[in-house]
Amino acid sequence: MNQQPVYIVGHKNPDTDSIASAIAYADIKNRTEERTYIAARAGQLNEETEYVLKRFQVEPPVYLSNVGTQVKEMEIRRTPGVSREISIRNAWRIMKETEAVTLPVTTEDGHLEGIVTTGDIAKSYMDVHDSMFLSRAKTRFRSIADTVGGKVIVGDENGIFCKGKVIIGAAHPDKMETYLEPGDLILLGDRYEDHLRAAEQGAGCMIICVNARVGPSIRTIAERNGCVIISAPYDTFTVARLINQSIPLSHIMKKENLITFKTEDYTESIKEVMANTRHRAFPVLNKNGLYEGTISRRNFLGIKKKQLILVDHNEKSQAVDNIEDAQVLEIIDHHRLGSLETIEPIFFRNQPVGCTATILYQIYQERNLEIEETIAGILCASIISDTLMFRSPTCTETDRQAAISLAAKAGIEIEPFAREMFHAGSNLADKSTEEVFFQDFKKFIAGEESFGVGQISSFDEQELEELEQRLQPFMESQCGKSGMNMVFYMLTNILEESTRLLCCGKGSSYLVREAFELEGDADVYELRGVVSRKKQLIPAFMSTLQENE
């Protein structure tokens, strides 16, 4: 069973139909199929839809503003984080075991401190040009002993070698005073005289190779002088070769200007960063800023796209952001065929009815599924809204009969409910002009032309007049944005079945005059009998624009 959920989502600036249809189709799918379907919305709810959902006590769909693939949907490599205190020898061992090229350095609570790559480890060998490297790195004696396969037999294993150089005691004991300074770390064999001179001259640490015996007197002098003694099983050459691997990662790790990604980042935004950076792996942090794992360029190959079912639209310009990065499985709609393209054939149900909710009602009937009272209520509200209580020319007898049946299931009377719903939807006094403008606004493309059309329907003529005064100045600010050359707004009086059409932008007035055979250049036109954006306004505009190409 595929555990990836399928999101059912309507268009941007969702209306009641797109929200109700998403909820209803998710209900149908979850009751008839084994996959998980989630109702989603691509924008904020308008006042009308909020009223409908509260009226029938239905939870709003989840918010899905962008369906581009995210880092969390990539195959994140769970390379374990390591402490800054471990040696580069142990780091190399972990890298080999996990086949990692980048090792994250983290705190105990999971915060990223730095990263170490195989290149950093190789460079640590090449950059060691003096004998002070071990003390410069503040290396713990425990780490030195572990790296050379030995153990601390005198002194504090948690102490730090922080002063002095590393030397090999190969000369005669009488000459030791010429090269051994207090605090130095010296590698010695099995000669008692060497042990004694080193302990007496203040060596910071002695590594006794090949597990040579260290007498009690030497131990006593070493303890008195603060000299740590490490017994190692290897010969002096091997110990000398291994010892620089005891350096802690903190000394070589990168900790400045780290390039990291978050699990919520969209892959589209990180591609360029990865392409322009020569790193082989990048740390990923979760929502809480804690280290999660690493990703590389090859992780893009197996990425899982979000899977969608679209309802109440099939225009790319109206779809959720980054729709091209998602996999569309189905479309249920009642609008004209738009610009959306899919890679492979999909189930596409498009019917010339006034509302997508009508199609959902039919699907319930076709599958012999009982419609819950709450869902019946929101589907009925959608049909009333989209058909302007059966006054829109988009309304069919199929819509009317579906609404009557749904109203009976929901226990509502259509006309009183419609008045309450439309009043709630047009109660815009507390909203900003921008919120009012975009609550039911759609963008359309015809050839080279791109334009937007918004609509508000109301029973109250005075309210529509007040909205006109607010919207006209704002429309001017929207011309030219998002590629729109013209902007229109329909203020529709449901009772009078007419629309005052506001227009803005070069050529907008001419388009209205040509489309509806009107005279006179104006910013506002009275369109008697025009109440539908989908069936009356948009077809007239599209036809006119095509004729003028």
Point out the domain boundary residue: 425, 456, 475: 425
Q: Radius of gyration over alpha carbons of the chain, in Å?
A: 37
Residue 133 in any domain: the answer is no
* Same domain assignment for residues 121 and 262: yes
* Same domain assignment for residues 440 and 542: yes
* pLDDT per position as a tens digit, 138-179: 999 999 999 999 999 999 999 999 889 999 988 777 788 788
How far from the centroid of its chain's Cα atoms is residue 455's Cα?
32
* Same domain assignment for residues 88 and 182: no
Point out the domain boundary residue: 370, 393, 425: 425
* Same domain assignment for residues 260 and 159: no
Kindly report the backbone phi and psi dihedral angles of residue 386, in degrees, each rounded to the nearest multiple of 5, phi listed first: -70, -30
pLDDT at residue 126 in the model: 66
Q: Is the pLDDT of residue 485 over 60?
A: yes
Separation in Å, CA 304 to CA 26, 27, 78, 327, 475? 21, 24, 18, 9, 40
pLDDT at residue 128 in the model: 53
Residue 1 in any domain: the answer is no
Q: What is the pTM of this model?
A: 0.65
* Same domain assignment for residues 407 and 455: no
% of the chain exceeding 70 in pLDDT: 98
Q: Is the pLDDT of residue 549 over 70?
A: no
Reduced to 3 states, what is the DSSP secondary structure of residue 511? Answer: helix
Q: Is the pLDDT of residue 127 over 70?
A: no
Looking up residue 519, the CATH number of its domain turns out to be 3.10.310.20
Looking up residue 145, the CATH number of its domain turns out to be 3.40.1390.20
Average pLDDT score over residue span 211-224: 94
Q: Is the pLDDT of residue 110 over 80?
A: yes
Kindly report the backbone phi and psi dihedral angles of residue 400, in degrees, each rounded to the nearest multiple of 5, phi listed first: -60, -45
Total structural domains in the chain?
A: 4
Q: Range of 464's domain? A: 433-547
Q: Is the pLDDT of residue 204 over 90?
A: yes
Residue 51 in any domain: the answer is yes
Task: Name the token pair of 317.
Answer: 């310009």
Reduced to 3 states, what is the DSSP secondary structure of residue 514? Answer: helix
* Same domain assignment for residues 354 and 399: yes
Q: How confident is the model at residue 1 (pLDDT cuts 50, 70, 90)?
A: very low
* Same domain assignment for residues 370 and 464: no
* Same domain assignment for residues 22 and 84: no
Looking up residue 106, the CATH number of its domain turns out to be 3.10.580.10
Looking up residue 54, the CATH number of its domain turns out to be 3.90.1640.10
Task: Name the token pair of 15.
Answer: 């209306």
Average pLDDT score over residue span 254-282: 87
* Same domain assignment for residues 535 and 440: yes
Q: Is the pLDDT of residue 2 over 60?
A: no
* Same domain assignment for residues 114 and 257: yes
Q: Is the pLDDT of residue 311 over 60?
A: yes
Residue 280 in any domain: the answer is yes
Residue 273 in any domain: the answer is yes
Residue found under tokens 């490599």 = 77
* Same domain assignment for residues 402 and 500: no
Reduced to 3 states, what is the DSSP secondary structure of residue 7? Answer: strand
Residue 513 in any domain: the answer is yes
Residue 523 in any domain: the answer is yes
Count of Cβ atoms closer than 10 Å to residue 302 Cβ: 8
* Same domain assignment for residues 285 and 353: no
Q: Is the pLDDT of residue 527 over 80?
A: yes
Point out the domain boundary residue: 300, 335, 364: 300
Residue 33 in any domain: the answer is yes
Separation of alpha carbons 548 and 341, rounded Å: 26
Strands 307-311 and 6-9: parallel
The mean of the pLDDT values for the chain is: 91
* pLDDT per position as a tens digit, 334-347: 998 888 888 889 99
pLDDT at residue 296 in the model: 86
